[in-house]
Chain A
Amino acid sequence: MHLPDSDRLNGVKEIPNFWDTVNRVALTLNLTLDQIAEMMEITPYRLRVLQKFHRDPPVSSAMALSKRINVGFDALVLNDFDYKLMAQQYFGDTSGLPAKYEDNALARRRTVIPFFDYIERYFGWAQRALILRKFQMTEGMFINPDAPINVRFAVDLTKYLMDYYRNPGILEHMGWYSARSSRHAPFGVELGKSESATEVYDRAFNEVVPRYFEKNFVWKLIQLDTGSCVVEGKPSEELVATPGSENLIAPGVCRVRAGFLSSLPTYAHLPSMKVKKTACAAKGDDACRYHIDFADQRVGQTA
């Protein structure tokens, strides 16, 4: 039996010189040798000796440095991280995102803030911190829920969670939790005025989602009556025009959306609904289509 692929670092052959990376970090952050040694939890003398004789530092030093500059260990060793962002964060500006998540940002950060709350709630604060560090993110980036973010982040995060936990149910549960934890947000209050599941979905897709959430997909209620509804989402023209957009329509995000849709009735203190996906843009269909039968409720998951 082979080990799961996600547990292998796939065939990395060349590792950059670690001291080049350390020196660049020191230069970028304007740190003295003594300061960088302190961050690496070794003495300045030892650092000088190791550098002089071109010897790598011990792994504990790299782990300590990775924690201090908020860069994942793998990224640090491979010298594959955003230096500008690292500097921004180090000098106190923790609001800027990595460039790949800042450009072509059509979603709002409120769509991903609950993901980290979910991770902390169910996997612990240490895991939240590790994952933030892995993506070179900080808590400061999520202070303003209306600030924009590229959907690429949700794609990368859901892919990471899928690879790491190998349990797709987590993504749906995360989507479900996202809606549930936003009860007191402005859109939650709006949806809370609904008196039936029909009204919830009507308000959600005709008013709330376009205003508060995202412009990556254009959502439409195909069918809505007292017994069920069908929701369709198509990639927006802006998303399609984004370079590499074919990689931004991902099954992981679709699962999160399904969970989110199932939880919408809880705003009106109604039970969650079971959501069935009948078409998927990530699998080549023209749109994502979700069918929600209001008689098919999720036992044990109520408001």
Chain B
Amino acid sequence: MKPNVKVASIFRAARKLTGKTQVEVSKHLGVSQSCISKIEAGKLLPSVSEWFLFAQLVGIRPDEAYHYGYLDHALPVQPEGIYGESTFKMPARYTENAFSKVRTALPFIQYFQQHYGANRWEQYVSKEKIDPDFFLVYDGQISPQFTLDLVTRMIEGGVLKPQNLDELARAIRDPSMHGRLQQDYSHLHGSRELLLNIIQRADRYETNFSYQLQELSPQGLTLAIAPREHMSEIDYRNATLGDFVCRYKKRYLTEFSAYAGDRPVTIEEKECHFHGSEQCIYQIQTA
């Protein structure tokens, strides 16, 4: 990606994240509003001091944002949201029960773009009236309904079938799918340690489900996953989706266990929320 385009995206995302207008930013940087507009359109690169002052204003690391191209503070889900001042456009359908982080949607977005192309992705978010810059803020919060709608779209379009679930979930092994959290995992070794860590950090991904360790032994662990109260308002078990959420979670844990190159774990489902139980219980063999 050309530096202009990458910097423009981050610039827009960071400004909207802090709720600043172009005029406010222009005053802080000592430039005209049209200059900010050109930077955000990718027609102009910010100068050295403009980028430095901008980073200071919006609270980002100038090196990191420039090199990595996303914003991530790796904060846990908050009921009231994290970035109270943010001005990203988002339909109410996706701001209510906003207990998923953008990072949870990344594998689905990547899958969508791989199968439909980047242009179709832009058309999709435009049609849904979502600001595409929002997806550069990896710990921005959104309703799980967004991901479910995206999955429904792909199922109905025929690009996401049961046999494609492996391909979708394999994206989890890519460190960039986890944003800044990748640093927390890269020093871990062993599938058990990885799973325990991601379960501990579940609230940095979503709080739509609770994740309770029921048993822990050197050979493995038993994990209970139950929907939280607000999920009763989300249609995640309809005719199109079926038990997709459950199957995806199982694949997710399996693929993540192989994040550091170890052999993936095996998961046996003892109970299933999608087939009568109040929760899903997974017995996971790590040894």
Contacts and interface: CB of A to CB of B under 8 A. Distances in A.
B190 A165 contact: no
A80 B183 CA distance: 28
A122 B186 contact: yes
B62 interface: yes
A300 B190 contact: yes
Nearest to B197: A169
A8 B50 contact: no
B63 A123 contact: no
Interface stretch (B53-61, B90-98, B155-163, B164-172): B53-61
Nearest to B71: A7
A139 B61 CA distance: 25
Interface string A264-303: 0000000000000000000000000000000000011000
B47 A55 contact: yes
Interface residues of A, number: 39
A3 interface: yes
Contacts of A77: 48-49, 52
Contacts of B73: 3-4, 7
A59 B48 contact: yes
B142 interface: no
A86 interface: no
A130 interface: yes
Interface string B98-140: 0000000000000000000000000000000000000000000
Nearest to A4: B73
A58 to B, nearest CB: 4
Most A CB contacts (10 A, CB to CB) among B3, B51, B52, B74 go to B52
Contacts of A174: 187
Given A1-B82, A300-B192, A300-B193, A56 B56 contact: no
A3 B58 CA distance: 10
A173 interface: yes
B45 A167 contact: no
Contacts of A15: 49, 52-53
A130 B183 CA distance: 14
B223 interface: no
Contacts of A8: 56, 59
A226 interface: no
A9 B48 contact: no
Nearest to A62: B48
A74 B187 contact: no
A73 interface: yes
A77 B52 CA distance: 8
A56 to B, nearest CB: 3
A3 B183 contact: no
B66 interface: yes
A173 B218 CA distance: 20
A58 B183 contact: no
Contacts of B190: 300
Contacts of A169: 187
Given A123-B183, A300-B190, A61 B48 contact: yes
Interface in A32-56: 55-56
A59 B47 contact: yes
Contact of A59 (B45, B60, B61, B82): B45
A62 B56 CA distance: 17
Contacts of A56: 47-50
Contacts of B46: 58-59
A192 interface: no
Given A1-B75, A299-B218, A59 B66 contact: yes
Nearest to A60: B3
A173 B193 CA distance: 13
A72 interface: yes
Contacts of A118: 187
Nearest to A6: B61
Contacts of B60: 7
A166 B72 CA distance: 13
B78 interface: yes
Shortest 9 CB-CB contacts between residues of A and residues of B: A56-B47, A58-B45, A122-B187, A59-B51, A62-B48, A122-B186, A3-B59, A9-B56, A60-B3
12 contacts: A1-B75, A8-B59, A9-B61, A11-B56, A12-B56, A15-B49, A58-B45, A59-B66, A61-B48, A63-B63, A170-B183, A300-B192
